[in-house]
A and B are shown apart, each in its own frame.
Chain A
Amino acid sequence: MGYIVIAIIVVILFSLGSALIGMVKGGKEGSEKMFKSLRIRIGLSVFLFALLMFSGFMGWIEPNTTMLPTQ
């Protein structure tokens, strides 16, 4: 599960980077590239959040904010 989450995060970061390149480039083409990349980034982020919530609900993953007994 962790690997899937990290793979999605990498794609999100890649989209964010691509949007940055579009922003620096500017003009019609750059602006279009930026908007499209940001759309992918938000879509994937919402999907990842839903996946985490669902996995937690199904008991596939456990939050790490609860201290576990050390023994």
Chain B
Amino acid sequence: MSNQDYYVPHGTYWPIIGSIGVSTLFVGFANQMHGVEWGGSVMGLGLAIIIFMMFGWLGTVVNESVNGLYNKQVDKSFRWGMSWFIFSEVMFFAAFFGALFYARILSVPWLGGADNNLFTPELWDGFKAVWPLINTPGAVGQGGTEWSQGYALVNTWGLPALNTGLLLTSGVTLTYAHHALRKGHRNALVFWMLATIALGAAFLGFQIAEYGHAYHDGLKLTSGIYGSTFYLLTGFHGFHVTIGVIMLTVILYRIQKGHFDSDNHFAFEGVAWYWHFVDVVWLGLFIFVYWI
């Protein structure tokens, strides 16, 4: 390990490549939105540049770490960097859960005439405050007709319960992997990591299947405030599980390369915490979207 002074990174071209990638992505996206023919292809190119940049930049960081260029000060800055990233993630999910709670506990009952009656039922005559509300007030069916007569949106006992079981089991297997790493049991570590990745991938597969069922049964992004918050929360969560599975796979690769030992494994700790976080978010979703 080198000295403990502030670490000054060497010159690198990866940030400018990242900027070019993001700019290309947005130019493509804007044109796609305007129906320009090449918009989609340029978006794909931008995404490819960003992925190339991530491989290159993160690969450089890993190499520097493995070659002992980092000191305790750098280790500390990585830990703080991860905690700020986590803070932004917590705020993201807090906002989305907040939207769900606001709609459910405040705005929908208000529209039905609850509390101070500022938003009286006259706003939309005959509107009844129900949850799940899957019609936007004013649209056909909101008066308690076609959608609100004992219609099963999603079977809580089916895929959602199975997926919760899968994700919680992945939390258990990851904890075993963590234990194995701390004790230096390499084979057990690889086995439990593989199990965690497989469970995460299975979760994603079932989530796609559930979306297929829900969409087929008429629950869409446009299905009122319930449809919007359902897809926003579960979709954003599914995106995080995807990122988590990719990160766990990278960590497994690094384990195979022998990058970690029982005392130095911050990358593993960061990803493990992230996975536990994603697991807790799902548990919250399962409880507040499907049960309570």
Contact = CB atoms under 8 A, between A and B. Distances in A.
A69 B149 contact: yes
Per DSSP, chain B at the interface is: helix
A58 interface: no
A24 B150 contact: no
Interface residues of B, number: 52
Interface in B73-132: 75-76, 79-80, 82-83, 86, 128, 130-132
Contact of A26 (B164, B175, B182, B266): B266
Interface string B15-44: 000000000000000000000000000000
Interface residues of A, number: 37
B55 interface: no
Given A26-B266, A38-B175, A42-B279, 19 more contacts: A23-B83, A24-B79, A31-B263, A34-B269, A38-B276, A42-B168, A46-B172, A49-B283, A49-B286, A63-B157, A64-B131, A66-B150, A66-B152, A67-B130, A67-B132, A67-B153, A68-B148, A69-B148, A71-B144
Interface of B: 75-76, 79-80, 82-83, 86, 128, 130-132, 134, 144, 147-157, 161, 164-165, 168, 171-172, 175, 178-179, 182, 263, 266, 269-270, 272-273, 276-277, 279-280, 283-284, 286-287, 289-292
